[in-house]
Amino acid sequence: MRLLPIAAVSLTLFACTGAEPGNSQPAQNDEGGRPFRVAVVADFDAPWSMTFLPDGRMLVTEKAGQLILLSADGKTKTPVPGVPPVDSAGQGAFKEIVLAPDFATSKRVYFSYSEAGPGGKGVVLARAILADGASPSLQSVETLFKATPYVSGNGHYSGRIAFAPDGQHLFFTNGERQKFDPAQDPKSTLGKVLRLTLDGKPAGDPGLTAKGFHPAIWSYGHRNLLGIAFDKAGNLWEQEMGPQGGDEVNLVLPGKNYGYPIVSDGDHYDGRDIPDHKTRPEFEAPKVSWNPAISPGGLIVYSGKLFPQWAGDLFIGGLSSEALIRVDVNGTNARKGDQWPMGARIREVEEGPDGAIWLLEDGRNGSQGRLLKLTPAR
């Protein structure tokens, strides 16, 4: 079902009944199984990520390199200059923006973007001061870390950011840039989850560093990591696009090899087989995988009060699946929950201050780039 292209319209979507046997049932309520209403709040040009400021305003990144400050009511969009040049060809984009743990006092934001440089292209981690006021801007921009090596091509940059519960480290994802083998290369950061200090210094898994790995690597054998988030217990969850099928949700553990491209629950796009995870138990297997693909985009661990039945569950945007996907989490285990059709490619998922779930449409391949707010149907 496609949403009507009218701002601020309120709609009700019906739950998909495709939950696997044994899983928690799709959400039901007195309106016949419709778990949320959707309000269209604003429109953007190929938006990529978003984050909330303490006062309810939002920062939204757009693919080509624009940063937009959106008022809390969604009515006013203010461009924020100061973003470094972005190479937005292919899957390149102004990737992610998040508030520093000490944002209330430092006014720092951390962000990632793809750039062209000597020898190819890569993803960059940076931070800046958000100068607020009548003319907001990014100031004192610092480059903290760059993927290594830079390579040719325009795919699989990743570039997601999550701050560790200790407040002293951050985790940064580097995709394998559609080059396959770098995901297993101990000297490359491609196809890896990285741990860094807040200043961007490598602080990877000590066991891997002792074996000669790049000192930022925390886990490896990943493909295109487009979502990463901590739960309340301190577990780190990650989702990534597989090849043809085999999209994954992983529990990220230090020093572990997640197997790509040696194993995957999907296959190469040219039809060549990739052995399944179950054939190589020495590699860390995903907690959940999808075949056919959902093309995951964005990830949150839900902690709000509006949907208490989903506390601690994962929410993932679906691109090719044009869906919002819920993954049922129980401690360190996970299984498929609901998959709701949204009628557009969903690039990003975020939780609002009041517990509403917010989505960004991709703005490409027929989707409009709208910002959507989801609240309980009843």
Domain segments of the chain: what residues?
A: 10-376
CA dihedral 325, 329, 335, 336 (to 10 degrees): -20
Tell me which residues are annotated as active site.
156
pLDDT tens-digit series, residues 231-263: 999 999 999 999 999 999 999 999 999 999 999
For the record, the structure tokens of 232 come out as 């309340």
Of the candidates 221, 219, 212, the one whose C-alpha atom is nearest the C-alpha of residue 242 is 221
Summary mean pLDDT of the chain = 91
Q: Once rounded to an integer, what is the mean pLDDT over residues 28-44?
A: 72
Chain CA centroid to CA 350, Å: 9
**Among the listed residues 261, 215, 66, 96, the one whose alpha carbon sits nearest the alpha carbon of residue 163:** 96
Q: State which CATH number among 2.40.110.10, 2.40.160.20, 2.120.10.30, 3.30.1490.190 fits the domain covering 10-376.
A: 2.120.10.30
Contacts of 164 (CB under 8 A, 6+ apart): 170, 171, 195, 230
Which residue did the predictor score with more confidence, 6 or 319? 319
Task: Name the 3-class secondary structure at 104.
Answer: helix
Q: What is the pLDDT of residue 369?
A: 96
First to last CA, the chain: 20
Q: What is the pLDDT of residues 179-229, one digit of tens each?
A: 999 999 999 999 999 999 999 999 999 999 999 999 999 999 999 999 999
Q: Across the beta sheet with 323-330, what order do the strands follow?
A: 296-301, 314-318, 323-330, 333-341
Alpha helices in the chain (DSSP H): 103-106, 206-210
- The mean pLDDT of 87-94, rounded to a whole number, is 98
- Note the pLDDT of residue 293: 95
